[in-house]
Chain A
């Protein structure tokens, strides 16, 4: 358990009438296309909604590529600033989350790569990206036999390439669909997202089945 967070802002200063939050709720039932469209048309509540829903996830996703939190924050800010500037002529997206993820990944790698020659395919080149861990809490209470098995799974996970780990994390940790993975990993076809998951699972097969 984490220690309690220190209060940073006095909540009383920032309390908003409830009806304001209710008008945000309108977006919860909308599709990504509709939310994005509203944002494109300059709807500030739509922007607020996107920020609220995705900011934490983006920050966490950025942490898979760098541990420099200040850099991640800068990149997230830049992405939103640029998006807001381009309102009115934004291109369509299939999945907001997938789009924000790939934008963030590009932005971080661009910043990390400044002055260096690597930029393309750098996920493949950097084997430290997207490390996977297996949740500790659930391992602890597993029966010993199963714990052994999980240890093996961990070993197998290390045999995956960074791109495969990325796909597996998007699939299991983020709960993304193949379509969203395709967007987040810049595959032009959803088929490629399936393929990379199948290949990753094939690597893990001998450990999973027994």
Chain B
């Protein structure tokens, strides 16, 4: 059976599909994104299946404490050592013995290093010292997009109406970027943490790809691969797994959701996506995307919703696609779009 003939139960029992939902990587991601583009009618089923898969959790899920992590390790290593000490030492064991000791030392050290790296890094958000440090500003106006490659070869896709600031000596010191607006980050792993500051929030990562959007004092972070740690100004801290999105509202409320990759990150591949978008959403997206101003003559019902996907389309085609089907007229003149709704 082909995926196009799948119903929700088929998706729910398909290993390759679950693999994409649980641990998306380059390969499965590429396939499913392409497939979804070809089968938009299946999108709802797929999203529903993905949401069911993601929502199944262990009822008990205690975290292993750092103390236990280290203690168990030590017990295991030492048990082996005691054994060798008490046993009548054979030559072969004996020759291993110093090696084991050295190994134990390094392993314990490594343990600590891992804990330091994965748990403690990020606990103290150091706001970068901007004073006396040369920084570089890059900004993109409405209607444009840009890809910036940083000195550590991490890439930043900068969306329209957005700006980043980063240290000129990026690779030598701390890796950080300040963001206003929206950007997609592909961070190269080089052992040093990489921080994105937006809206008084720090997003700390090692190597990963994720989308950050800051608009009207709301912030959303959507993780495609790797791990990120988000810390807000009040010290609240959340860790995201792949395919999870964290939304932080202006008043500090926050919640995690899944997300549709195409909808959230399609922009970096020049794909304009509307998903049950209200007129306000559509207006804002188009203005930003094409760098135009949109005015409405007449009214659009609050029930009006539009869904559609446009890849690399002209403003004219997008407007035609959206509004003609809804019985509206439009007129483009000098970066100004006027919309007429006769109804």
Q: Is B274 an interface residue (CB 8 A)?
A: no
Q: Which residues of A contact B191 (CB under 8 A)?
A: 18
CB 8 Å contact bits of B22-37 with A (1 = contact, 0 = none): 1100000000000000
Assembly CA distance A204 to B100 (angstroms): 52
Q: Which residues of B contact A16 (CB under 8 A)?
A: 106, 109-110, 112-113
Which residues 133-179 of A have a CB within 8 angstroms of B?
Answer: 133-135, 137-141, 150, 153, 168-169, 171-173, 175, 177-178
Cross-chain contact of B59 among A9, A20, A76, A131 (Cβ < 8 A)? A131
Number of interface residues of A (CB under 8 A): 65
Assembly CA distance A205 to B10 (angstroms): 11
**Contact call A14/B72, Cβ cutoff below 8 A:** no
Q: Is A73 an interface residue (CB 8 A)?
A: yes
Nearest Cβ on chain B to A59's Cβ, whole angstroms: 4
**Contact call B255/A63, Cβ cutoff below 8 A:** no
Q: Which residues of B contact A63 (CB under 8 A)?
A: 58, 60-62
Closest to B119 in A: A5
Assembly CA distance A48 to B70 (angstroms): 12
Cross-chain contact of B56 among A5, A15, A44, A134 (Cβ < 8 A)? A134
**Contact call B75/A77, Cβ cutoff below 8 A:** yes
Q: Is A33 an interface residue (CB 8 A)?
A: no
Which residues 64-111 of A have a CB within 8 angstroms of B?
Answer: 64, 67, 69, 73, 76-77, 80-81, 84-85
CB 8 Å contact bits of A174-201 with B (1 = contact, 0 = none): 0101100000000000000010011001
**Contact call B64/A55, Cβ cutoff below 8 A:** yes
Nearest Cβ on chain B to A115's Cβ, whole angstroms: 25
Q: Which residues of A contact B76 (CB under 8 A)?
A: 51, 77, 80-81, 84
**Contact call B23/A8, Cβ cutoff below 8 A:** no
Given contacts A84-B76, A138-B257, A140-B255, contact A132 B123 (CB under 8 A): no
8 shortest A-B CB distances, which residue pairs?
A: A14-B112, A175-B22, A11-B116, A131-B59, A44-B103, A172-B56, A16-B109, A133-B59
B interface residues (Cβ-Cβ under 8 A, vs A): 7-9, 12-13, 15, 18-19, 22-23, 51-73, 75-76, 79-80, 83, 96, 99-100, 103-104, 106-116, 119-120, 123, 191, 235-238, 254-258
24 residue pairs from A and B, CB less than 8 Å apart: A1-B238, A2-B237, A5-B66, A8-B65, A13-B112, A14-B109, A14-B111, A15-B113, A16-B109, A24-B110, A48-B107, A55-B64, A63-B62, A67-B60, A80-B72, A84-B76, A85-B80, A131-B58, A133-B57, A135-B57, A138-B256, A168-B56, A169-B56, A208-B12
A interface residues (Cβ-Cβ under 8 A, vs B): 1-2, 4-5, 7-9, 11, 13-16, 18, 20-21, 24, 42, 44, 47-48, 51-52, 55-56, 59-60, 63-64, 67, 69, 73, 76-77, 80-81, 84-85, 130-135, 137-141, 150, 153, 168-169, 171-173, 175, 177-178, 194, 197-198, 201, 205, 208-209
